[in-house]
Amino acid sequence: MPTDLTRRSFAALAASALVAATLARPAAALTVDQAKALVDTVTGEINKVINSGASSEAMYAAFQDIFTRYADVNYIALSALGPAGRTATPAQKAAFTKAFSRYLAVKYGKRFREFVGGQIEVTGAKPVKTFFEVQSVAKLQGQAPFDVRFQVFEKDGKQRFFNIVIEGVNMLSSERAEIGALLDKNGGNIDAMIAQLKG
C-alpha cells in the first residue's frame, strides 16, 4: 500500500509539474478580446449542434470536429496521459491522442446534449496568470443557468482552448484521474489502455 501511494503521489506531482511548465510560457500576443472571440465562435458552433436535431452519433462527430479545430487536443491528451507520456512511443502517443479525441467528444457531447433547447452565452473574459479564462453561462429550458468556463492560451501563433470547467468540474484534472485509473486497471500497459478507451 505505501509503495502504491508513493507511486500515485509522484505521478500526480509529475503531471502537475508538466501542466505548470507548459502554462509558464508567455501568453504571447493573445488578448482578452481574442480569447473571448475564440470562445464566442466555439459556443456558437456548439449551440448550432445541440439544437440541430441531429442524431447522437452525428452530434458526437460534430463535437469532435469542434474540439479538433478549436482545442489544443495534443496538449489535453498529453496532460491526461501524465507521466506515462514520457515512456510512450510516438506511435502510442498518436494512437492515444486519436482515441482520446473521440472519447472526449462523446463524453462531453453527452453533457452538451443536456443543453438541447438552450444555449451557452459568453459573459466575459479575464487574464489568469499566463492564460485567459472566458466565462459563459449555460441557459437550459426549465433549469437554473450554470457556469461554463473555457481556458484559452496561444501556442505557435494560434489561439486554442485547453480546458473547460463546467460547474466547477475541471476537465484536465478529471481526465487525468480517469486515464490514470484506466492505466492502473490495465497494469500500466498503454496499448491495452488505448484499446479499452476505444471501447
Q: pLDDT under 70 in the chain at which residues? A: 1-29
Specify the DSSP element, H or E, that contains 172: helix 171-185
pLDDT at position 50? 87
pLDDT at position 98? 94
CATH (domain of 89): 3.10.450.710
CB-facing half-sphere around the CA of 111: CA atoms within 13 A: 15
Nearest by Cα to 131 from 19, 56, 26, 12: 26
If one counts the domains in the chain, the total is 1
pLDDT at position 15? 41
pLDDT at position 119? 87
How many residues are listed for the chain in this entry? 199
Range of the domain at 29: 2-198
pLDDT at position 12? 40
Q: Is 151 exposed, middle or buried (0-12, 13-18, 19+ CB in 10 A)?
A: buried
